[in-house]
Amino acid sequence: MFFPFFRKKKKEKRRGPILSVDVHSHLIPNIDDGSQSMEESLSLLEGFEAIGYEKLIITPHIMSDSYPNSAETILNGLEELQKEAKNKGIALVLEAGAEYYLDEHFFEEMQQEMIMSIANRYVLFESSYISKPLQIEEMIFAIGEAGYEPMMAHPERYRYIRDPEKEYRRFKDLGVHFQVNINSFGGHYGKQAEGLANFLNEAGMIDFLGSDVHHRKQIDTLSELFYSEVYHKVFENNSIKNDRLL
Ligand SMILES: [Fe+2]
């Protein structure tokens, strides 16, 4: 006999597409608000490997007030992490970019010889969550002047976005790529961020997905979201470019 009701109840949730490359995380120990020790970093790397990632482009904050990082601090930290990961048998490919904060030093930073880009192509940037920087368009332009393409970190998290259609479209017209945090779809950053992530998803405006992992719990929530309906929809509605960076 056939009982559709029972069959439905027993049906396993389907996992969405596996992302091989992550473009946003805070896994270099002790240089920002992410991992606070080498031990923690290695455990986070094991977590990423266990859920299917092959390559992580780690993006420490460069924020002059709180995290005054430079190419030097980031690359030294990366080298140390690569060495320890190799000793532990972790097969992930590890690279580093940065998450640049749009502050008064940003123009200077874009004129430096060594810019911490993603895949030698994109500059990942974030701004205040509360107020849109007055010179945001000039700052985006400065990324282009330096020879890179702008990638906005978690556009869904900026509370200053009042008119998503108009404001996001304007950024797109300026050539900005959008990197949405996967955890935003699970409400990890609150209702407004979830709503804006859904808006970007339905509008087909998402270019990259990021984990933005600072600590272990965010890997657990991430791996649950891989089974959600909304995660499947992201790949139906958008052209996700992460794995072009493999
Ligand atoms: Fe971040």
Cβ atoms 125, 133 nearer than 8 A:
no
Residue 8 confidence (pLDDT): 53
| CA 89 – ligand 1 centroid, Å | 27
Count other C-beta atoms under 10 Å from residue 1's C-beta: 2
The CATH fold assigned to 18-239 is TIM Barrel (3.20.20)
Residue 141 confidence (pLDDT): 98
Residue ranges per structural domain of the chain: 18-239
| CA 26 – ligand 1 centroid, Å | 7
| CA 64 – ligand 1 centroid, Å | 15
| CA 4 – ligand 1 centroid, Å | 45
Residue 17 confidence (pLDDT): 93
181-210, pLDDT tens digit by residue? 999 999 999 999 999 999 999 999 999 999
139-164, pLDDT tens digit by residue? 999 999 999 999 999 999 999 999 99
| CA 7 – ligand 1 centroid, Å | 42
Residue 166 confidence (pLDDT): 98
In angstroms, how far is the first alpha carbon of the chain from the final one?
Answer: 48
Residue 3 confidence (pLDDT): 55
Q: Which residues pair with 195 in a beta bridge?
A: none
CA distance 92 to 81: 11
| CA 24 – ligand 1 centroid, Å | 6
| CA 17 – ligand 1 centroid, Å | 23
| CA 16 – ligand 1 centroid, Å | 23
CA distance 67 to 214: 14
- Mean pLDDT for the chain? 95
Cβ atoms 187, 230 nearer than 8 A:
no
Residue ranges, the chain, pLDDT below 50: none
